[in-house]
Amino acid sequence: MADRPILNVKSLKEQVYDYLRHQLRSGEILPGSAINLDETSRKLGVSRTPLRDALLQLESEGFVTIYPRRGIIVNTLSLEDIKNYYQIIGALESTALLQASDKIGEDEIRRMEEIIEGMKRAIESDDFDLYYEKNLALHDVYLASCGNGNLVRILKTLKRRLYDFPRQRGFVKEWELASIAEHTELLQLLKQRKAAEAAAYVRDVHWSYRVQERYINQYYKKATSTLPRTER
Does 151 map to a domain? yes
Residue 65 has φ and ψ, to the nearest 5°, of: -125, 130
Instruction: Give the model's pLDDT for residue 171.
Output: 77
Task: Please say which residue of 74, 99, 119 terminates a domain.
Answer: 74
Do 187 and 158 sit in the same domain of this protein? Answer: yes
Instruction: State the average pLDDT for the chain.
Output: 89
Do 48 and 155 sit in the same domain of this protein? Answer: no
Task: Record the pTM.
Answer: 0.85
Does 4 map to a domain? no
What is the CATH number for 57?
1.10.10.10
> Within its chain, how far is the Cα of 8 from the centroid?
26
CA distance 138 to 157: 17
Residues 6+ apart with CB under 8 A from 80: 226, 227, 231
Do 83 and 70 sit in the same domain of this protein? Answer: no
pLDDT tens-digit readout, 82-127: 999 999 999 999 999 999 999 999 999 999 999 999 999 999 999 9
Q: How many domains does the chain have?
A: 2
What is the CATH number for 136?
1.20.120.530
CA distance 179 to 177: 5
Do 216 and 171 sit in the same domain of this protein? Answer: yes
Residue 116's domain comprises 79-231
